[in-house]
Amino acid sequence: MRIIRFTLLLAVLLVGALTSQEHNQGAGSVFVKDSEIYVTAPGAAEAHRLTNDGQPKSLPALSKDGSRIVFNRGGDGLRALAVLVALLSDGTPLREIVFRPPGSNLSGMRFVEKLEWISNQRLVVSGSLNPSTAEYAVIDVGSGEQVKDYMVDGFNWAASPDGSHAAYVGYVPHFTQEEARRPQLCLDDECPLDRPFGGYPGPSIHLEFVAPPVWSPDSSVVAIVAEKYETKAPLVIVRSLGGKNSEFAPPRVDGLLGVSWEGTTLVVSTGSTFWSLERGSSVFTIRNSR
């Protein structure tokens, strides 16, 4: 999808990497109170106010290291979908971006529902298109430009821990009959609108994904819980960036199925039982049963 250029109201670009001082000054939390942005330092009880303009604000988000903040500021008078304001945690401005201004000739999300930092230079702006489809737009804060765009079935999208990859359940048209759906677990650019079956398992198999994908800590492998449409039998799907795809049926299921990672080990939980699946293995090892 073509890169979309945005109108920029303010261009104060931080050049270079974050300094150690910026890391030390990172915030522990960010919130809105009385239309202003407040931050707290890690372990501190008292909050510090960063803004004082009285304009409506929403969706504050903190970067992973606590050094950067973004929020949606209202009152721009342009009727844009959002005005994104990015700051350092000490209040130093980075950039202000008008997201989807009038006249941009874009169709997509109806309104912004979430802001998220996936690295210190990139944001994700997400919102629904309709009751079953969401859009995720990746914004480069340095340039203020959209660099990636994903249409997703539900809100089943996740950035890798290093911020360089995305895993998601590819777009299925909202009007599709349930039995005709063929959702795909997609990595990066596998499932554009003109190639909806570029992911896993392909158009001949009907799986339904019941939770968002979960990345391994090293950003190389992703796991997700699925079920076979016809039988409702649960599965764990594992995909690697190297191209290997695997399906695993847990030894037994006595409740909701969940997945998480401990290093390179996949942990599968079902009811009161936890199983381990080592990378490269197809054998589940029971961890504990409560």
State residue 18's pLDDT score: 30
Q: Is residue 208 part of a domain?
A: no
Q: What is the pLDDT of residue 65?
A: 94
Classify residue 63: in a domain, yes or no: yes
Residue 133 lies in a domain: yes
Over residues 241-247, mean pLDDT: 90
Residues in the chain, how many? 290
- Look at residue 113 and tell me if it is in a domain: yes
Q: In the structure encoding, which two tokens stand for residue 253, read together?
A: 């299921």
The 3-state DSSP class for residue 78 equals: coil
Where does the pLDDT of residue 77 fall: very low under 50, low under 70, confident under 90, or very high at 90 and above? low
pLDDT at 261: 95
CA distances from 254 to 53, 226, 273, 276 (A): 53, 15, 8, 16
Residue 61 falls inside a structural domain: yes
135: containing domain = 1-159
Q: Kindly tell me if the per-residue pLDDT of 3 is higher than 50.
A: no
pTM of the model: 0.85
Please report which helix (H) or strand (E) contains residue 247, including its range.
strand 245-248
- Asked whether residue 228 is assigned to any structural domain, the reply reads no
Q: What is the mean pLDDT of residues 111-138?
A: 95
Amino acid identity of residue 187, one-letter, is: L
Has residue 73 got a pLDDT over 50?
yes
| Widest pairwise Cα distance in the chain | 59
- Bridge partners, residue 266, by sequence: 261, 277
For 212, the 3-state DSSP assignment is coil
In a domain, 190, yes or no: no
Residue 267 lies in a domain: no
Quote the number of domains for the chain. 1
List the beta bridge partners of residue 286. 275
247: Cβ contacts below 8 Å, ≥ 6 apart = 235, 236, 237, 238
Q: How far is CA 286 from the centre of its chain?
A: 31
Interval 81-110 mean pLDDT: 87
pLDDT confidence band for 108 (50 / 70 / 90)? confident
